[in-house]
Amino acid sequence: MVFPYHNRRWDGDFLTLQHLIAEGYLGEVLDFESHFDSYQPEVSRAEWRYVNENGGGTLFDLGPHLIDQAICLFGKPDAVWCRLYFQRQGSKANDSFDLKLLYPRTTATLRAGIFVWEPGPRFQVHGTLGSYIKYGLDTQEAALKKGKKPAGINFGSEPVKMHGLLHSNAHKQTLRGKFKTFSGRYMGFYENVYDVLSGNDGPEVTAGDALLNLQIIEAAFVSHIEKRIINLTA
């Protein structure tokens, strides 16, 4: 059995976004933008990620998480466009990227930057019936670094000030205000592994998802080098 570790499907903000889309609050999503930004002018951790041109860089580091979330929401894109950046002194591997997944009516923009003093929205999603804007990162990783356990009280929850803004005209009513973020549940990944091994469920993240992720990354490198949109084969 193969279980690709795309744990970011269980981020609280992403679970919330999935709910809003499934319940029709945004209508048909036309513009999806997702960021993992930070301010890291020097390589101070995991230097091995940036000393090798092959297999190193931010696109291979953070890219898979952003790409997997887009795949989960929209499936396989028709085409890929990407620009890679080598912004730090002596960068041998990309440290920032701007990646676009092109669908018939939807554009998914995925970005990661390392010279971002003031981060913008983590998610910025616009559809035919509404918009959802969300700032801040999922709280689980920071909590785990502090020694907190997933079974602890309020693990994965976030303060009200971090809740995203929903502006929707769906369901015959206009809504504009904070929408409570679902609690993140990284343990959901392991629960799914257990259910698959027990024969009670199928895998949430398939091997096909992981292979498509790699196909998109490889197309992104070609797009950057050749400065053009790369169509994905069927």
pLDDT single digits (tens) 178-197: 999 999 999 999 999 999 99
Kindly write down the DSSP assignment for every residue of 71-102, as one continuous string. Answer: HHHH-S-SEEEEEEE--STT-SS--EEEEEEE
Task: Pick the closest to residue 76 from 215, 207, 204 (CA basis).
Answer: 215
CATH match for 7-231 among 3.30.360.10, 3.30.420.40, 1.20.140.10, 3.10.130.10: 3.30.360.10
Gap between the Cα atoms of 92 and 129, Å rounded: 44
pLDDT at 79: 98
Q: Tell me the mean pLDDT in the region 119-124.
A: 97
Residue 143 pLDDT greater than 80, yes or no: yes
Gap between the Cα atoms of 71 and 55, Å rounded: 21
Domain ranges for the chain, please list them.
7-231
pLDDT single digits (tens) 18-39: 999 999 999 999 999 999 999 9
pTM (2 decimals)? Answer: 0.94
